[in-house]
Each structure stands twice: as structure tokens, then as C-alpha cells.
């Protein structure tokens, strides 16, 4: 370690510059899109660059939603590029891709590498059935040889950008003693480990004792790469405790960010109901501005469930919002409630 920075001799790009510990925003389909990342950047960073350590400057790394490598390597690319939009406020940012065809992955990564991202991440953990049917995501845990070929192709196409991997503990059972060493045979720059198997989905608590074992395996391999733990962490205090417990270099937040774009700011005060609803309005307006004609406004409803809870009248207000079809309706409902 040097001045609080990771000193991984084999690290690439921005990974070398990150403070320790660091905190990341997980890639979540139809959740961590461009508008939501903009809201998170505004309310966690206050317009400042990341400072690390959860001191009001996180997240230290943003991730995009996952994007199909096959789709990017096809005539349908234009229908996917909205998933790759980001702003300067969201840097450093990593683009996550999924796919099971090495050549398509190589070409897709080569394209993404021209867009200004700080890194590329390969999804080897998604349990979604449609992804599984393509042999991608968590399905690649069952085919380690192919998984390595996909990762290697990504590294070859990345033009020097660091390539990380996000995966799980195994497919139907815990396989870290065999699966993790396979991944470490490739020149990955970071490893993000979700503390469940594919079979477990999110139905059981994350196995942080096994994440600790993954850290041990990485260190014993001689690979000097950061390990990021993921699973059930609710706040920065818990994240720091998990880091102490496991030896992880960073923590990735997933579902905890719902309705809490200020989560990464350790100095943030608990917002009032009115403040939360104002952020909901701002988020809704930005979503409609960015995605009108591209994404169904109904995507916002999962956010409403999180923003609107824990206060008198929340259930009734939430019911109204679930029936809204656009920002104009949402604005009318919220203004009637908080008398703006």
C-alpha cells in the first residue's frame, strides 16, 4: 500500500488509482441506467470527483447495465447504444457486456473501447433465463474453457483498457476452489464476486465467509488484483465491516441503492419525505427525457416502490404512481401530495 492507494503491480488503468477501500455501483438491468446514474452522481457526489473511502465522494466506480455483445456485434447495435451513454459525472465508469461467442465479444469490446469508458467488465454471473439460453452469464461457469476464451477475447479487443470479471460462487453448488483459479489464468484486472451460486439466486443470504475464501485464493495465486465483494450490503458502515471481515478491496452495492441515490454519501442526512419525492420527480423527468420512445415509462415503477415507503400515506400514494403513464401524471400526483 502507498498513501492509501492500491499498489497492485499487475493492475491496469484506473484500478491503480483507486483509494482503499472503494465502493461501486452494481450493474442492474433496467435499474442502473443513465438517468439513475445521473441522479446518484448528483446526490452522492455533490458534483465533486470521487474521493474514495465512502467519505461523501462515492461511488468510486459506476457500472452500466449489462449489454449484449452479440447485439453490439450486429446490425441491431443502434438499438443498444442508449445503454452505453454516460456523462463526465459518472466516471470512472465500466461497461459490462455479456455473451458466449469469443469473436463477437472481441469485436463488441473493440467497439465499446472507442467510447471513452475506463474499463470493461464481463458478466459471468447473470442468472436470467434468456441470458442462460445463450450460454452466457452464469451458464459460463459450467464451461470454464469457453469462459476463459470469452474473457481472453475481451482482453484482446479492449485495446489496453482493463478487463474485469463479475461472477458467482458457482452454478448449482459452490465451486470456488476450481472456478476462481480458472479465471485467474487470464489477465483480468479485477474480480467481482457475488456471494451466492446461480441456483441460490437471491433467495438466501450472501455467503461472506466464502467471499473471504475467494480473497484468499486470489492472494495465494500471486495475482495482484483487487477483489470486490457483492451481496446484501445495505450501507457504508456494513460495507466497511465486510471489508474488515473478508479482506476485500472494495464492495459493490446492488439492491440497497433502490430509492436511496444518496447511499454512497457518508455525510448525507436522512432526507425528508418531501425531499425524497422531489428526487423522485427529478428522476422521472430525466428518465422520460432520455428514454421517450426507447424505454417504457413503466420501468420507473420499480423505483417508485422504493422511493415511496415508510411514511404515512405511502401505500395510497404508491398506488396512484403505479397507474401513472408519464412524467406529467407523476408530477401532478406528487404536487397534490406535497402541495408544491
Residues designated catalytic: 126
At residue 237, what are phi and psi to the nearest 5 degrees?
A: -65, -45
Among 213, 243, 210, smallest CA distance to 228 is for: 243
Q: Which residues of 123-138 are buried (b: 16+ CB within 10 A; e: fewer)?
A: bbbbbeeebbebbbbb
- Whether 99 contacts 124, CB under 8 Å: no
**What does the radius of gyration of the chain's CA atoms come to, in whole angstroms?**
20
CA distance 219 to 206: 21
Which strand (E) or helix (H) includes residue 303? Answer: helix 301-307
Exposure string of 223-233, with b = 16+ CB inside 10 Å and e = fewer, is bebbbbbbbbb
The CA distance from 96 to 181, in Å, is 22
Amino acid at each position: 500500500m502507498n498513501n492509501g492507494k492500491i499498489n497492485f503491480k499487475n493492475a491496469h488503468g484506473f484500478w491503480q488509482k483507486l483509494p482503499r477501500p472503494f465502493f461501486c455501483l452494481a450493474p442492474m438491468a433496467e435499474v442502473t441506467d443513465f438517468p439513475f446514474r445521473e441522479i446518484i452522481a448528483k446526490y452522492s457526489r455533490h458534483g465533486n470527483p470521487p474521493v474514495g473511502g465512502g467519505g461523501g465522494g462515492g461511488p468510486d466506480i459506476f457500472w452500466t447495465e449489462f449489454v449484449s455483445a452479440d447485439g453490439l456485434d450486429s446490425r441491431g447495435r443502434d438499438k443498444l447504444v442508449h445503454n452505453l451513454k454516460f456523462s463526465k459525472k459518472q466516471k470512472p465508469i465500466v461497461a459490462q457486456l455479456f455473451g458466449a461467442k469469443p469473436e463477437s465479444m472481441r469485436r463488441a469490446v473493440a467497439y465499446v473501447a472507442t467510447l471513452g469508458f475506463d474499463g470493461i467488465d464481463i458478466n459471468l454471473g447473470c442468472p436470467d433465463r434468456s441470458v442462460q439460453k445463450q450460454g452466457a452469464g452464469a451458464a459460463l461457469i459450467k464451461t470454464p474453457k469457453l469462459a476463459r476464451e470469452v474473457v481472453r477475447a475481451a482482453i484482446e479487443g479492449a485495446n489496453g483498457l482493463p478487463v474485469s470479471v463479475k461472477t458467482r460462487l458457482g452454478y448449482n453448488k459452490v465451486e470456488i476452489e476450481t472456478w476462481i483459479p480458472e479465471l485467474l489464468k487470464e489477465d483480468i484486472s479485477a474480480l467481482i464476486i457475488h456471494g451466492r451460486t446461480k441456483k441460490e439466486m437471491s433467495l438466501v443470504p450472501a455467503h461472506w465467509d466464502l467471499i473471504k475464501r475467494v480473497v484468499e485464493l486470489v492472494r495465494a495465486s500471486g495475482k495482484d488484483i483487487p477483489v470486490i465483494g457483492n451481496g446484501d450490503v445495505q450501507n457504508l458502515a456494513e460495507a466497511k465491516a465486510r471489508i474488515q471481515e473478508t479482506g476485500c478491496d472494495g464492495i459493490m452495492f446492488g439492491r440497497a441503492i433502490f430509492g436511496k441515490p444518496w447511499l454512497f454519501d457518508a455525510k448525507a442526512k436522512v432526507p425528508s419525505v418531501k425531499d425524497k419525492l422531489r428526487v423522485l420527480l427529478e428522476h422521472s423527468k430525466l428518465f422520460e427525457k432520455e428514454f421517450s420512445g426507447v424505454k417504457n415509462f413503466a420501468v420507473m415503477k420499480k423505483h417508485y416502490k422504493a422511493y415511496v415507503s415508510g411514511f404515512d400515506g405511502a401505500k395510497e400514494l404508491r398506488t396512484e404512481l403505479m397507474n401513472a403513464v408519464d412524467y406529467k401524471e407523476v408530477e401532478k400526483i406528487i404536487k397534490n401530495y406535497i402541495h408544491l
